[in-house]
Amino acid sequence: MKRLFFISFCLVIVSIASGSVVIGQRYPLGIMPSGIVKVENGYGIYYVTLVKGDSELIVFDSSFKPVTIMDAIKNDGVNDIIYRDGKLYCFGFFSGRLVVIDASGYPGRWKKIDEIPTSSRLITGAFIDGRLGILSNENELIVLDTGNRTILKRYKLPVTALTIAEDSSRFYVSLFYNYNTLNRSMETEKGLMVFDINGQLSVSLDIGKRPSYISIDGDRLFLVSYMEENLKILNKNTLKEIKTIELGRYPNYPVMQSGKLWISITGEDRIMSIDLENYSTTSYDLLGKGPIKAVLHGGRIYVLETITGTLEILDENGRFVETVKLEGYPVDIAFSGRDAAVLLQEDWKTGKNTGAMLTMKIN
Amino acid sequence: MKKIILLVIASASLLFFAGCDSIFITRDDFLLRMDALEKKIDSLATEQRRIVQLEDAIEELTFRFNFVQAIEPASIGYEEIEQLKYELRLIKNLLAESVIDSASSAAIVRTLYDKIDGVLGSSVQSNIVTKEIDDLNRKVQALETLNYSRYTELVERISEINTYDSSIDDSKYLELLARLDEIEIQPPVINIQEPDDGRYEELMAKIEELASRSDNTEVDNAKYESLLTRLGELERTVGSSAIDRELFNELVSRIDEMDARTRSLAENVQSESSDDYVSMSTFLGEISDIRSRLGAAAYETIEPVSYISYIVKSGDNLSSIAKAYGITMDQLKEMNPEISNWNLIYRGDEIKIPLSLDNLMAKASLASHFGLNLGIEFLVDSIESNFGSYDYGYANPGIDLTVPVNSRITAFLPGKVILSERVNDLYGEMVVVDHGNNIKTVYARLGSRTVSKGDFVRVGDTIGIASEIKGNLHFEFWKSDVPVNPADIIFDNAGTFQVTMYTEWDDGKNPTSPSFKMTASGNYVKGYRTVATDPTVIPTGSIVYIPFFSSSPNKGFFVVEDTGSSIKGNKLDVYTHDFNIASNFKEELLVYVVKKP
Provide the pLDDT confidence category of residue B204 given band limits of 50, 70 and 90. low
Q: What is the pLDDT of residue B125?
A: 59
Prediction pTM value: 0.64
pLDDT range class, residue B80, cuts 50, 70, 90: low
User: 3-state class of B522 per DSSP?
Assistant: coil
Point out which residues pair with B574 in neighbouring strands: B501, B531
Distance to chain A for B115, nearest Cα, Å: 14
Q: Counting every residue, how long is chain B?
A: 597
In a domain, A243, yes or no: yes
pLDDT at A141 over 90: yes
Average pLDDT for residues B419-424, to the nearest whole number?
Answer: 88
Residue B146: band (very low, low, confident or very high) from pLDDT cuts 50, 70, 90: low
The reply to whether CATH 3.40.50.150 applies to domain B309-355 is: no
Alpha-carbon distance A42 to nearest alpha carbon in chain B (angstroms): 31
Provide the percentage of residues in chain B whose pLDDT is more than 70. Answer: 52
Q: Is the minimum CB–CB distance between B152 and chain A shorter than 8 Å?
A: no
Q: Do A53 and B507 touch (CB under 8 A)?
A: no
CA-angle at A44, arms to A42 and A50, nearest 5°: 110
State the average pLDDT over residues B291-318. Answer: 71
Q: Is residue A239 part of a domain?
A: yes
Residue B177: phi and psi, rounded to 5, are -60, -40
Q: Is B522 on the interface with A (CB under 8 A)?
A: no
Q: Rounded mean pLDDT of B214-240? A: 50
Least confident of A19-28, A85-94, B285-294, B431-440: B285-294
Among A residues 293-352, those touching chain B with beta carbons less than 8 Å apart: 306-307, 319-320, 329, 331, 345-346, 348, 350-352
- Distance in Å from the first CA to the final CA of chain A: 32
What residues 372-411 of chain B have any CB closer than 8 A to a CB of chain A? 376-377, 379-381
Mean pLDDT of chain B: 71
Nearest CB to B512; choose among A18, A163, A307:
A163
Closest by CA to B100, choosing from B156, B47, B41, is B47
Report the percentage of chain A scoring pLDDT > 90.
Answer: 82
Considering CB atoms only, which of B379, B380, B526 is closest to A346? B526
**A272 alpha carbon, distance to own chain's centre:** 17
What is the model's pLDDT at position B216? 41
Span B396-423, average pLDDT: 86
> Which candidate, B211, B228, B214, B229, places its Cα nearest to that of B173?
B211
Which residue from B250, B290, B236 is spatially nearest to B482, judged by alpha carbons? B290
**A70-122 pLDDT, tens digit each:** 989 999 999 999 999 999 999 999 999 999 999 999 999 999 999 999 999 99
Q: Is residue A313 part of a domain?
A: no
pLDDT of residue B411: 85
Q: Is residue A336 part of a domain?
A: no
Average pLDDT over residues B149-175: 58
- The per-residue pLDDT for B489 is 77
Q: In the CATH scheme, what is the homologous superfamily, with its name and number, of domain B490-595? A: RlpA-like domain (2.40.40.10)
B274: confidence class by pLDDT, cuts 50, 70, 90: very low
What residues in A contact B10, CB-CB < 8 Å?
A: 7
Give Cβ neighbours of residue B268 (< 8 Å, ≥ 6 apart): B122, B274, B275, B276, B277
β-bridge partners, A347: A328
Minimum Cα–Cα distance from A164: chain B residue: B512
% of chain A beyond a pLDDT of 70: 94
Residue A262 in any domain: the answer is yes
Got the DSSP string for B34-87? HHHHHHHHHHHHHHHHHHHHHHHHHHHHHHHHHHHHHH-HHHH-HHHHHHHHHH
Q: Decide: B92 and B148 in contact? Cβ < 8 Å.
A: no
pLDDT-derived band at B169, boundaries 50, 70, 90: low
Q: In A, which residues are within 8 Å of B513 by CB distance?
A: 162, 176
Please return the burial class of B63, using the count of CB atoms within 10 Å of its CB with bins 0-12, 13-18 and 19+. exposed
Q: Kindly state whether A1 is in contact with chain B, defined as any CB-CB distance less than 8 angstroms.
A: no
Q: Answer with the residue of higher pLDDT: A1 or A114.
A: A114
Query: How many whole angstroms separate alpha carbon A166 and alpha carbon A183?
Result: 33
Render pLDDT for B40-50 as a digit per residue (tens, 0 to 9).
Answer: 777 777 777 66
Domain membership of residue A124 (yes or no) is yes
Q: Where are the domains of chain B?
A: 309-355, 365-485, 490-595
| Poorest-pLDDT segment among A69-83, A237-251, B411-425 | B411-425
Per-residue confidence (pLDDT) for residue B381, from 0 to 100 = 75
Q: What is the dihedral of CA A287, A291, A294, A300, to 10 degrees?
A: -10
DSSP-based three-state secondary structure for B588: strand
Task: Show the domain range for A108.
Answer: 24-287
Instruction: Provide the ipTM.
Output: 0.84
Confidence check: pLDDT of A160 > 60: yes
- How far apart CA B201 and CA B112 sit, in angstroms, is 65
Question: Are residues A181 and B508, on separate chains, in Cβ contact within 8 Å?
Answer: yes
- B2-18 vs B27-71: helix crossing angle, rounded to 10: 80
Is A326 among the domain residues? no
The enclosing domain of A67 has a CATH number of 2.130.10.10
Number of domains in chain A: 1
Residue A295 lies in a domain: no
Burial B501-532 (b: 16+ CB within 10 A, else e): bbbbbeebbbbbbbebbbbebebbbbbbbbbb
**Residues A114 and A125 sit within 8 Å (Cβ to Cβ):** no
- Collapsing DSSP to helix, strand or coil, B25 comes out as coil
User: What is the arithmetic mean of pLDDT over B332-339?
Assistant: 80
Ranges A142-156, B341-355, B522-536, most confident: A142-156
Domain B365-485 has CATH 2.70.70.10: yes
Give the separation between CA B324 and CA B343, rounded to whole angstroms. Answer: 18
Reported as a single tens digit per residue, the pLDDT across A272-320 is 999 999 999 999 999 999 999 999 999 999 999 999 999 999 998 888 9
Closest CA in chain B for residue A330: B577
3-class state of residue B223 by DSSP = helix
